[in-house]
Homo-oligomer: A and B are copies of this chain.
Amino acid sequence: MKIYLAGPDVFLPDAVEMGRRKAAICAAHGLAGLYPLDNTVDLAATDASRQIFCANEAMMDEAEAIIANLTPFRGAGADPGTVYELGYMAGRRKFCLAYSNDPTVYAGRLGRLAEVTPDNGRLVDAQGLTVEDFGLVDNLMMIHALELHGCPLVTPVKQPVDVWHDLAAFETCVRMAAARLIAT
């Protein structure tokens, strides 16, 4: 049973090692983790980014499930590249799981990074754009996609000290995936 491992982990200084750790956790639960950096891409090629895309898409098509790391990335929300992959897998009707190592609600988190003010019964940012305020950890499309196409978002009770390397919430996703994919 193959699971695609999506996340901004690929941008970490120890990205390759993170992939190894995640794959080892999958293996301990009887699953095969597919990690984008396992693909061989010629980064010096003029079409390197396209090669990466095609390799990632082929990996997703091969997998039966996705575990996406939705920990906030360069702002209040998840990494768009990872979110694209979650959407793609939901569209392919694969089993969708995700975690975020920041358990706080989106509106509150944004309020700590930028100006958020009440305006006529809604919250708005400095540009006057509505701030989603449904008490969810991130945009409702991802949160409810997980509920309806897999398992609800996994978050720790308390944010770990190292949000990029703590894999407890990831392992919970792996356990849920194993229970679902190996049982059926």
Interface of A with B (CB < 8 Å)?
Answer: 8, 10-13, 15, 48-50, 52-54, 56-57, 73-81, 83-93, 110, 114, 124-125, 127-132, 134, 136, 138-145, 147-148, 164
A48 → B minimal CB distance (Å): 7
Q: How far is the CA of A81 from the CA of B79 in the complex (A)?
A: 11
Task: Tell whether A144 pairs with B49 under 8 Å between CB atoms, given A74-B76, A86-B87, A139-B81.
Answer: yes
Task: Tell whether A143 pairs with B49 under 8 Å between CB atoms, given A110-B74, A129-B8.
Answer: yes
Looking at chain A's contact residues, the main secondary structure is helix
A24 → B minimal CB distance (Å): 22
Which residue from B11, B49, B134 sits with its C-beta under 8 Å from A140?
Answer: B49
- Which residue in chain B gives the minimum CB-CB distance to A78? B80
- Which residue in chain B gives the minimum CB-CB distance to A133? B49
Q: How far is the CA of A131 from the CA of B148 in the complex (A)?
A: 32
Assess the B81–A84 pair: CB atoms within 8 A.
Answer: no
A4 → B minimal CB distance (Å): 12
Assess the B140–A53 pair: CB atoms within 8 A.
Answer: yes
Taking CB atoms, residues of chain B closer than 8 Å to A141 are 53, 56, 80-81, 84-85
Which residue from B88, B128, B148 sits with its C-beta under 8 Å from A91?
Answer: B88
- Which residue in chain B gives the minimum CB-CB distance to A163? B127
Taking CB atoms, residues of chain B closer than 8 Å to A15 are 130
Q: How far is the CA of A141 from the CA of B11 in the complex (A)?
A: 14
